[in-house]
Structure 1
Amino acid sequence: MPPSCRAEREHTMLTLYHALISTCSQRVRMALAEKGLVWTEHRISLPDNEHLTPEYLAINPNGLVPSLVHNGQAIHDSSVIMEYLEDVFPAQALRPADPVRLARMRAWTHYIDEVPSAATRIPSFHYVFGKGLRHLPRPVLEDLAAQRPLRKHMYLRIGPEGFSAQDLAQAWEQLEQSFQRMEAALAHGPWLNGEDFSLADISMLPVIVRMEDLGYAPLWSDRPRLADWYARITARPAFEAAFPPGSRLTLPPDTGVLPGLGQ
């Protein structure tokens, strides 16, 4: 088999289990598009709890999306999936070859996973995804939480008013720190890792998109480098593939301004 045909066959054996609205799914779709990889999609309906079915848990016991299946092997966690794609399909590289620059990129991706991505879940659930959980009887909420291997304790923190003021303030502080770090880093190049467009930028993109959808865009109105970064990354052709219709949040009209943005 010619190498080109073999590569095409390998690409078509990529199956992504994902959800349109999932920020982790969005970053993997962006990476796939940037690398020009062909893949088969299997959409998971989060409202219908398809990520908690026995069939999906057999693929990903964490009950989270996305999951990548390649040659029959399941790969979990969006950051791990993106690194796997770099290992297996090195063309159109999204990470630098130089060890020092690679280490800096990975420091960014670890930070993004640990801080802004985690913080984004709090306002996302407080204002949108978790609103239906607020007035459930506690035993029902506890049962729903117990079904979620890695999100149990986050669900249990949801009360009649949503998340506590302390939870929201902590998320706000973490997001603000992230935007400050972005603005500082972008003084040294067009991308988070300097001249290299990389997995660091792709990892951060869904956070900024989600914050824009939730009404946080004023946070970077006085951060011109961050605003310029956002304009450039959303202009890339891969952005449309990563964020097809149905990928963005639309807030209810009565949501109003989020805390810290004028109230």
Structure 2
Amino acid sequence: MELHGYFRSSASYRVRLGLNLKGLRYDYRPVNLLKGEQRGDDYRQLNPQGLVPALVDGDSVLTQSLAILEWLDEVHPEPALLPADPVERARIRALAYNPACDIQPIQNLRVLRYLQSEYGISDEQKKGWIQHWIHEGFGALERQLDPKPFAAGEQPGLFECCLVPQIYSAERFGMDIAEYPAIHRISQACAEIPAFVEARPEKQPDSTL
């Protein structure tokens, strides 16, 4: 498999985590978002949206991080990213969609660049925008999390694949997640797991380019 992504992309980070938790080997193909490589003709042959990540498996090209993670769970079912019980599966999906669908999309690079180019927001206003929406999402999550090691029980899964990249973004923009004890507890637990350590942005080859 080949994973085309960017080291600091939350969506790419999610998929790295899923692949690592499954113990799957892959070749990493950097796509530099700051240089606009995602908009190049070669990359758009893989993903016409011009977004990362794209996962290539043989003749198949998979896009959209959540779709990729669910595909991984179907094709490589152990260890599972989602619980077996349908109600629990829906609960975990709902938790995962908070950072992946509600928080991150409105603070990604193309949205922030649009706000700056079209509305002239300053770097400080950009930071405030990001922090506001993370606080909104994390506040809701904090009320929904049980006092378990992870959202689904004893092992990390889909939710943690989506939460940890959002925590990285929050800390990058000056937020202290310790004010969210349940989220902070999960973050600390994940930090002890090799699959999460190896997926961190600074561990990726393009982090130094």
Structure 1 length as normaliser, TM-score? 0.69
Q: 1:190 aligns with which of 140, 149, 153?
A: 149
The aligned amino acid for 1:158 is Q
Name the SS of the counterpart of 1:192 in structure 2.
coil
- Which residue does 2:74 correspond to in 1? 87
Pairing of 1:12-31 with structure 2 (within 5 A): 14-31=1-18
- On the 8 A contact 1:120/1:210 being kept in 2, the answer is no
- On the 8 A contact 1:185/1:193 being kept in 2, the answer is no
Does residue 1:225 correspond to 2:176, yes or no?
Answer: no
Report the Cα offset of residue 181 of structure 1: 2.5
Q: 1:106 aligns with which of 93, 96, 111?
A: 93
Report the Cα offset of residue 244 of structure 1: 5.0
Deviations, residues 44-88 of structure 1 (Å, cap 9, x unaligned): 122322211111101000101110011211111111111111111
Report the Cα offset of residue 164 of structure 1: 9.2
The aligned amino acid for 1:228 is R
- Which residue does 1:45 correspond to in 2? 32
Gaps of 5+ in 2: none
Name the SS of the counterpart of 2:146 in structure 1.
helix
Q: 2:122 aligns with which of 126, 146, 162?
A: 162
How many residue pairs are counted as aligned between the two chains?
Answer: 203
Gaps of 5+ in 1: 1-13, 126-150, 251-263
CA distance in 1, matches of 2:98, 2:179: 23
The 3 A distance-change label for structure 1 pair 100 and 23 is: same
Aligned-pair Cα RMSD in Å: 2.4
- Which residue does 1:60 correspond to in 2? 47
- On the 8 A contact 2:127/2:173 being kept in 1, the answer is no
The aligned amino acid for 1:238 is A
The 3 A distance-change label for structure 1 pair 19 and 50 is: same
Report the Cα offset of residue 18 of structure 1: 1.0
- Stretches of 4+ aligned residues off by more than 6 angstroms: none
- Which residue does 1:118 correspond to in 2? 105
Report the Cα offset of residue 178 of structure 1: 1.9
Report the Cα offset of residue 227 of structure 1: 1.7
CA distance in 2, matches of 1:163, 1:94: 37
Structure 2 length as normaliser, TM-score? 0.85
Pairing of 1:232-243 with structure 2 (within 5 A): 232-243=189-200
CA distance in 2, matches of 1:72, 1:182: 38
CA distance in 2, matches of 1:108, 1:15: 28
Higher helix share: 2
Moved more, 172-181 or 86-95: 172-181
Report the Cα offset of residue 37 of structure 1: 0.4
- On the 8 A contact 1:119/1:175 being kept in 2, the answer is no
Identify which of structures 1 and 2 has the higher relative contact order when contacts are C-alpha pairs closer than 8 Å and 6+ apart.
2
Which of structures 1 and 2 has the bigger CA Rg?
1
